[in-house]
Amino acid sequence: MKRPSVDTAGTHRRLSRRALLLGGAQIGFMAMLGLRMRHLQVEQADQYRLLAEENRINIRLLPPARGEIFDRNGVPLAVNQPSYRITIVREDAGDVEQVIDALSNLVTLDPVKLERARTEMARSAPFLPVTLADHVTWDEMSRVAVNAPALPGITPEVGLSRRYPIKGDFAHVVGYVGPVSDYDLSKIEDPDPLLRIPRFQLGKVGIEAKQENLLRGKAGTKRVEVNSVGRVMRELDRREGQPGADLQLTLDQQLQSYVQARLGEESAAAIVMDCQTGDLLSLNSSPSFDPNLFVTGISVPDYRALTDNTYRPLAAKSVQGTYPPGSTFKMVTALAALEEGVITAEDTVWCPGHLDVSNRRFHCWKRAGHGHMTLAKALRESCDVYFYEVALELGIDRLSAMSERLGLGQRFDLPLSGIASGLNPSREWKETVRGAQWLVGDTVNASIGQGFVLASPLQLAVMTSRLATGRAIMPRLVKSVDGVDTGEGPSDLLGVNENHLRQIRKAMFDVSNNRRGTAYGSRIIEDAYRMAGKTGTSQVRNITTAERAAGVTKNEDLPWERRDHALFVNFAPYDNPRIAVAVVVEHGGGGSTAAAPIARDITLRALHGGTPPLAAYPAKDRDRIEAQEKRLNALIPDRDGNVGGERA
């Protein structure tokens, strides 16, 4: 049936309106799209052009050469050497395991590092290189290069790694570097982007750690073109970084190595210090370790061997160790008493072998007593009772003040790890730390360097330098940075009466040169080298009344860890002090037998600048010394680290 004309006209009108609405919407949408495109392409063109360029060009960091470390004469102590490594790119290798098997026929692959590389490959992009072996030899690199066509995806690379040519002789001072760990990053508030470079090395202890910012240098950059998945297509340009600063230390390599050889495998520490400048000429802790083991990550067995050693080879005893200074502290008591007018050089004290104070008996090391003692005799023969009596009149306040003036209880500002401040006890310290009042017996103990008093070998060397010169000598370890000297002007005077210092020095001279002196057996007989010193023996255990009645057990009959510490300090030459020496032998027994002979040999070597003449030693010792020096000289490495024998 034919539709009426009215219905047809209405339908046509409705369709026309819809077409207009739809067309208008389409035109509006196109207009908005056009405006948006204009906004992006015209108004924001520069911004998106920059983003596109950044997606195509990456800027990557170039690690700088680490600053090197030298001794005072230019002998290298920490250097950079080419480090050869072999990497693999998974996508280029094809059958990775087959390539690794082929490589293992040419190069020795560490199973642990190989497994670590497999793990890294599994979680990395296929086009990123992964290290299979590092620190490979040149011969191994050559074999890999020759067989490159049969090793798809394998690339031999060269970089820089740290090496310590003198090995253990400077381990506690220079320290070592190692791969950056998550723990290292967690300790730094705003880590340098350099530290996130794979296999980047960071100073862990010693100067390497404390001077990290100077030694690290500034990163360089290179611009590389990458494709859409991040693969490097080509290098566009590069800007080399700024190498780290070179450091020159005050230490003398030949002296340092001699001292290390002289200490042998004793658990000990020794310091040689320039009396005039404060330069540390040697800074030794024994036994030591090879810092090269830590550069790429030490193995578990090697690390356990170090940590399980009773003699603690990882500890820098010369600055970290603190010990009761024993009788080496008696110069402090004597000088304080002279300065305060408590005694004069002529005053005498009777020593019957003990002193009773507050219902407690304090013993002298000489059970029968020393009899009448003057200051000079008391220091020469190390009479304890003399200093007990002096301390009762002096008091802890004045004793503590003199101790501080001579450098004890201070933490010196050196670029070393874990420098100990020791302990210079006072009334306030005991009340704050121990929650108890200071007792008169505490003062008696402190007067001979026992009780609460603790000092490091470094502090004892500083104390001796100040006594020798009358100046507030400060220790210095870094001589120059990139050739610029770090030295300061002359030290201030201590403000101590020079006549009193002369009396102390003369008594120390008698310790080593008078027949009744406790160090007479370790004297130097050549006038140009004569030394003034003081022995010390510090107890590490309490001696009971019953043991004293039955007879005190000899050190050699005790377990090693219960024996007394042996100490000796000295300066030389006596008439014109040039060096101060401090030696501590842990659980070595008596200072006169264990520490003084070592200090005498070190002193002569430092003053002479090499093997000293046998005429400087007592005639009875010369045959033994000649054999000893020949053996030790064979253990001293040259500037390249080569030695003539193995260290015992």
Q: Which residues are designated catalytic? A: 327
Rounded Cα distance between 168 and 38, Å, is 70
Check: CB of residue 281 under 8 Å from CB of residue 251.
Answer: yes
Check if the beta carbon of residue 475 is closer than 8 Å to that of residue 487.
Answer: no
**Phi and psi torsions of 230, nearest 5°:** 95, 5
Q: Cα–Cα distance between 416 and 272 in angstroms, integer? A: 17
Between CA 68 and CA 46 the distance in angstroms is 46
Exposure on the CB side of residue 530, measured as CA atoms within 13 A: 17
Alpha helices in 67-109 (DSSP H): 90-93, 96-104
Given the structure tokens 């196109």, which residue do they identify? Answer: 30
Instruction: Give the orientation angle of helix 396-405 with respect to helix 440-447, to 10 degrees.
Output: 30
Contact indicator for 468, 502 with CB cutoff of 8 Å: no
Helix axes 457-469, 330-339, angle to 10 degrees: 40
Contact present, 390 and 333 (Cβ < 8 Å): yes
H or E element at residue 249: strand 247-249
DSSP assignment string, 503-531 = HHHHHHHHHHHSTTSTTGGG---SGGG--
Q: Where does residue 573 fall: left (phi above 0), alpha (psi -120 to 50 degrees), or beta otherwise?
A: beta
C-alpha angle with apex 206: 202 to 211, nearest 5 degrees?
60
Distances (CA, A) of 119 to 96, 154, 460, 625: 13, 17, 52, 58
- Residues 366, 371, 377, 379, CA torsion sign: positive
Say which residues have a Cβ less than 8 Å from residue 166's Cβ, sequence separation at least 6.
75, 77, 253, 256, 257, 637, 641
- Asked if 105 contacts 82 with a C-beta cutoff of 8 angstroms, the reply is no
Q: How far apart are CA 148 and CA 141, in angstroms?
A: 10
